[in-house]
Amino acid sequence: MFTIKPKAGRQSFLLSVYNEQGVQQLGVEVGRSPVFLYEDQHGKPSPEDYPLFRSINLADGKWHRVAISVEKKSVTIIVDCKKKLSRPLKRSDGAAINTDGITVFGTRILDEEVFEVRTMTIACYDAVFGGHFAGTTSKRSVVLYLVCFTMILECIPSWDRSLR
């Protein structure tokens, strides 16, 4: 989950996770049409099958709270606590990603385009929302999240906003 305000009309990577060989295993590209990049141990899905959210424009000059979850063979994006779209993730059965390489925020290793941020809050959780955001890697079960605590609290209807 993250709170972002991409520059109007821009498309750039917010997060890129690489294996030890430098192959991008996971990525989140935000902008006019957000893309969820994922490549498992068998090279699936192919780039033309990466989940693309054409009907969502995050590069409209406004702040957005965004959550992305992967469950089995589906990717879901929730924007501003209400707009929810799911796309198929054509990965292998028993898919895994290797996170033994590096994680890059704001770009990909060889890209010149960068995602500019003022402040980012990052945290990792083992279970959130009943495991809805869970994923697995080749060595262990891991959940990788970008969490903006403001988003979590504001998306929970029972949260007492007077505590801010």
CB neighbour list of residue 158: distance below 8 Å, 6 or more residues apart = none
Distance CA 145, CA 67 (A): 9
**Amino acid, res. 43:** G
| Predicted local distance difference test score (pLDDT) of residue 115 | 61
Fold of 2-157: Jelly Rolls (2.60.120)
Query: Which residues on neighbouring strands pair with residue 88, listed in sequence order?
Result: 74
pTM of structure: 0.69
Residue pair 61/8 in contact by the 8 Å Cβ criterion: yes
| Predicted local distance difference test score (pLDDT) of residue 102 | 83
| Residues of the chain under the 50 pLDDT cut | 119-154, 156-164
CB neighbour list of residue 101: distance below 8 Å, 6 or more residues apart = 17, 18, 19, 20, 21, 22, 23, 25
Cα 3 from chain centroid?
11
| Predicted local distance difference test score (pLDDT) of residue 164 | 42
